Amino acid sequence: MCGFTGFTNYIKDDGTVLEKMMNRIVHRGPDSAGKFIDNDIALGFRRLSIIDLADGDQPMFNEDKTLVLVFNGEIYNFKDLRSELTAAGHTFANNSDSEVLLHGYEEWGENLITKLRGMFAFVIFNRRDKSIFAARDMFGIKPFYYTFMGNSFIFGSEIKSFLDHPEFKKELNEEALAHYLSFQYSPTEETFFKGVYKLPPAHYFTFKDGKMKKTRYWRPEFSDIDGVLEYFADITDKTVRESVEAHKIADVEVGSFLSSGIDSSYIAQAADVDKTFTVGFESPDGDRYNEIHYAKEFADTIKVENISKIITPEEYWSAFPKIQYHMDEPLADPAAIALYFVSKLASEYVKVVMSGEGADELFGGYRIYQEPLTLTLYDKLPFKIRRIIGKLCAFLPQKHGINYLVRRGKTIEERFIGNANIFSLKERNEILKSDVALNVPAPQILCDKFYSEVKDKDTVTKMQYLDINMWLMGDILLKADKTSMANSLELRVPFLDKKVMKFAETIPLKCRVNTVTTKLALRKAAEKALPRRTADKDKLGFPVPIRVWLKEDEYYNTVKQAFTSETAEKYFNTDKLIKLLDTHKSGKSDQSRKIWTVYTFIVWYEQFFVNE
């Protein structure tokens, strides 16, 4: 696990500039550094040594040094690829997984991507024709950002490395802010920095003579096959365990995160690690936000050590600005801070951990996936009538029953934009000062292209497909990568594996979700090795007491100060922000997610545009 940064075209003092850019991401690779510079390109690399500790440094070259590689990630099938390439006549200089990318590109060209099993973002520069070939893994586990500024093409693992390039112009993308208020993350290829883009998951590009050509090389293809739950549970268990075994490859100790739920528990048991790591929160609500005792109890049953930490409110709030700096873009998921602290804890003992990200998207784990299956007498009304009722109810004050009628008057494409839906279109336009928001497409427009790709599928599959393409990359994997790498820790996600995905695509709806529970095949598989209590436990993720803290005077005043700051005045109608805050504190309605979304942006903005 590492980080890279670079740019094309010669600039004055390019070595000094590159060094500064590399220093911005030293947390991604504190073990060593490397540079390659000529008149056409500058490549910088920071290494966290995991495989081939002695000889895996980068930038890395092929035999005649015509190809130069910088690579972030792990290739889990590199030994098989190495054998295939050796048989084809290639000579390897070291035992790292990185080198198979160079020889693989020599042998297969762009088709290399289809052979890789792993998490990756990499750049290969061809010194002969001055071309670049770069790619990102199928799920977007590893980040890749790029921009065209001045005469330079700048790219890297984190946006913050671009800040030291003399041609980089730092400017807020207000369209991204409008989208963010709906999704709680940045959902498009554009980022919060104007002119900076993400390479989407499952894409590669070629860059030559100033022109970029992007290609998508994979997309999920759900095609249910017939079978009973026991069959799919058996294959799930075999497939997940094989993936876990593949993900264990390392020359250093591997640990595992552990909550009280099925996903991390299943991974920890299958991985047979020595150490697991858990965090919980200090809260007036007692154990509601602290599952450490559940995790310790489970760790005892599988005979592994559990190392835990209680996070105090003071720790959580004081670390928040630093964490938002590490995120590169604002992410209003409170669980990101919990992930930062459990990563920090784990980094004191190991260099690599496994985690359960991706199980919900692949196996149907979110409770909202049950909604289309939970039919009531009201659903027997013709949809046209429900639509009219829903439109009328939209003008009434938001309450649980009213919201139900509004949602039931919409198609899934209209009502589901992912696991977060913070501000409505009307609300975000009212809360923002700039007229830019008025011209930003509705959230549903961004989702349309993915829904159109599965228009013939059932409603739950449509929801999963959308989450795999948007929520997974924009929220789940963003916080997983950035919070772990902020602590120089490699995080591996065995559920998000090529072979696991290929099988998950075949699981029929009846073995994924029903009206009683979720992740049926995965839960049934987990029952083989986990206590029934763990296998059947509802998903909680990292429950964080934001709702409780925002009613306390200290944190109410902290947020109020932010909501009346110069930054808030610049972008928001602050009277509406204060109204949200007061409504929540009085207990009239829970506005914590909306408050936290705005507060997160303000804190992030001040890290990059005020304090930088």
CA distances from 552 to 353, 464, 584, 587 (A): 35, 37, 11, 12
List the structure tokens of 116.
Answer: 């890789």
Residue 87 has pLDDT above 90, yes or no: yes
List the structure tokens of 124.
Answer: 């290969």
Alpha-carbon dihedral 21, 27, 31, 35, rounded to 10 degrees: -10
Active-site residue among 2, 393, 447, 511?
2
Which tops the pLDDT comparison, 381 or 460? 460
Q: What is the mean pLDDT of residues 438-446?
A: 93
Q: What is the pLDDT of residue 538?
A: 67
Q: What is the pLDDT of residue 230?
A: 97
Domains of the chain by residue range: 2-216, 229-365+465-535, 546-612
Question: What is the residue-wise DSSP string for 211-232?
Answer: EEEEEE------------HHHH
Residue 444 has pLDDT above 70, yes or no: yes
pTM: 0.95
CATH code reported for the domain at 229-365+465-535: 3.40.50.620
Q: What is the pLDDT of residue 470?
A: 98
Q: φ, ψ for residue 146 (rounded to 5)?
A: -155, 160
How many helices (H) and strands (E) the chain has is answered by 26, 17
To the query of whether residue 511 is one of the catalytic residues in this protein, the response is no
* CATH 3.90.600.10 correct for 2-216: no
| pLDDT tens, residue by residue, 561-605 | 999 999 999 999 999 999 999 999 999 999 999 999 999 999 999
User: Cα 225 from chain centroid?
Assistant: 29
Closest alpha carbon to 477 in 329, 369, 256, 348: 329
Cα-only R_g, the chain: 24
Tell me what percent of the residues of the chain surpass a pLDDT of 70.
97
